[in-house]
């Protein structure tokens, strides 16, 4: 567990994905806020203090506007990506390919947040 809770934002259209990720991250000591889309996350000021943002590619389309929205998120951004999709316009701190295992997400979040206690 982490000594001080780091804040992680989850953006995923599927409520089950949000709950699953939130459960796994909470169990590791992270404070989690979850949203169904990027626009909803911008409406909540908690997103501004996140140490990391996880974005499921199902919330994105291939338009430049999504790449711009991701660019507006506070870094670092971890993208959960279907191996058959490409987002060449999107800059991220890391990618976890689907189907993902919770531990792979936790390890990458820990790495990009600078947490070595996990």
- Distances in whole angstroms, Cα of residue 12 to Cα of each of 21, 30, 54, 55, 117: 10, 17, 8, 6, 26
- Looking at per-residue pLDDT, the higher value among 97 and 68 belongs to 97
Work out the mean pLDDT of the chain and round it to a whole number. Answer: 81
- Flag whether pLDDT at 14 surpasses 60: yes
| Residues facing 53 on adjacent strands | 9, 77
pLDDT digits (tens, 9 = 90+) for 21-57: 999 999 999 999 999 988 888 888 877 888 999 999 8
Q: How many other β-carbons are positioned within 10 Å of the β-carbon of residue 118?
A: 15
Percent of the chain with pLDDT over 70: 81
Is the N-terminal amide bond of 99 cis, ω within 30° of 0?
yes
d(CA 110, CA 48): 19
Predicted TM-score of the model (pTM): 0.83
Please tell me the distance from the alpha carbon of residue 56 to that of residue 78, in angstroms, as a whole number.
9
């Amino acid at each position: 567990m982490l000594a001080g809770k780091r804040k992680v934002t989850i953006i995923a259209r599927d409520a089950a994905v949000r709950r699953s990720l939130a459960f796994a991250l909470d169990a590791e000591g992270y404070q989690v806020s979850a949203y169904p889309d990027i626009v909803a996350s911008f409406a909540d000021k908690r997103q501004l203090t996140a140490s990391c943002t996880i974005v499921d590619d199902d919330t994105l389309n291939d338009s430049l506007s999504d790449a711009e929205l991701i660019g507006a998120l506070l870094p670092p951004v971890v993208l959960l990506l279907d191996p058959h999709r490409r987002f060449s316009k999107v800059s991220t701190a890391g990618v976890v390919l689907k189907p993902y295992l919770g531990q792979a997400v936790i390890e990458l979040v820990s790495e990009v947040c600078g947490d070595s206690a996990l």
